[in-house]
């Protein structure tokens, strides 16, 4: 079952850049909620409340119970968070996407790498993590908080691919041949010496003898 957190927002009628700036000065974040056969609706949320919500989210694939005013809460995903490009901690706008329990959604789910690969433990290799999320399609109630990737059996030169992973009650949308991670050999002193340019040996000229 997917993790869920609650967030209360308020409906707003004023839109546009001027209204958005006024909201931010008042300590609120403008946003919009759309999806599931509903008309887009402008909302606002208290900035401290949203920051608390973000800290409790396992990832942006976490379902948020959004209450608009006194209405019954709806289930939604945070589709986009726009931030100040200079001050990244400042959120400028939020997009919520309402979901239905019976309609599949596509989400990015973070990967959780477990174990220490044999190539790292026994051969001094280095684990190269190529992907950090996978895209999955599933019902909202089946969204996993994360996907475990066990790397303990990987030897130097071996890789795990998308085709090696399964997620219960979900379809992975990434290319099956895409590498998730691999164990790379480290460059040793002997390897560096072998790759060095050989010293040029030439016959000395008569005036150099």
Q: Please indicate, yes or no, whether the overall pTM of this predicted structure exceeds 0.85.
A: no
The single-letter DSSP state of residue 160 is E
Report the candidate in 143, 136, 113 with the shortest Cα–Cα distance to residue 5: 143
**Does 24 score more than 80 pLDDT?**
yes
C-alpha separations of 194 from 184, 188, 189 in Å: 18, 10, 9
Average pLDDT over residues 119-130: 94
Tokens of 175: 């290319």
Say what the pLDDT of residue 14 is. Answer: 87
Confidence of residue 188 (pLDDT cuts 50, 70, 90): low
CATH superfamily of 105-194: Ribosomal protein L25, C-terminal domain (2.170.120.20)
Whole-angstrom Cα distance, residue 201 to residue 139?
70
pLDDT tens readout for residues 148-160: 999 999 999 999 9
User: 3-state DSSP call for residue 183?
Assistant: strand
Say what the pLDDT of residue 2 is. Answer: 53
**Does 173 score more than 70 pLDDT?**
yes
Whole-angstrom Cα distance, residue 132 to residue 201?
50
Please give the CATH number for the structural domain made up of 4-98: 2.40.240.10
pLDDT tens readout for residues 132-148: 999 999 999 999 989 99
Domain ranges of the chain: 4-98, 105-194
pLDDT tens readout for residues 63-101: 999 999 899 999 999 999 999 999 988 999 999 999 999
Say what the pLDDT of residue 202 is. Answer: 47
Confidence of residue 187 (pLDDT cuts 50, 70, 90): low
**Does 207 score more than 60 pLDDT?**
no
């Amino acid at each position: 079952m997917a993790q869920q957190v609650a967030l209360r927002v308020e409906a707003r009628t004023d839109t546009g850049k001027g209204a958005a700036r006024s909201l931010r000065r008042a300590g609120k974040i403008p946003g919009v909620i759309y999806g599931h056969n509903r008309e887009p609706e402008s909302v606002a949320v208290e900035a401290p409340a949203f920051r608390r919500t973000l800290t409790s989210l396992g990832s942006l694939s976490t379902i948020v119970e959004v209450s608009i005013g006194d209405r019954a809460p709806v289930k939604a995903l945070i589709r986009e968070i726009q931030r100040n490009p200079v001050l990244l901690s400042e959120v400028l706008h939020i997009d919520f996407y309402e979901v239905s329990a019976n309609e599949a959604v596509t989400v990015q789910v973070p990967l959780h790498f477990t174990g220490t690969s044999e190539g790292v433990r026994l051969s001094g290799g280095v684990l190269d993590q190529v992907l950090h999320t996978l895209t999955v399609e599933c019902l909202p109630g089946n969204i996993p908080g994360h996907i475990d990737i066990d790397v303990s059996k990987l030897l130097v030169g071996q890789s795990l691919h998308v085709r090696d992973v399964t997620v219960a009650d979900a379809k992975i949308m990434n290319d099956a041949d895409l590498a998730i991670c691999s164990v790379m050999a480290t460059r040793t002193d002997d390897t560096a010496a072998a790759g060095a340019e050989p010293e040029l040996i030439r016959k000395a000229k008569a005036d150099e003898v």
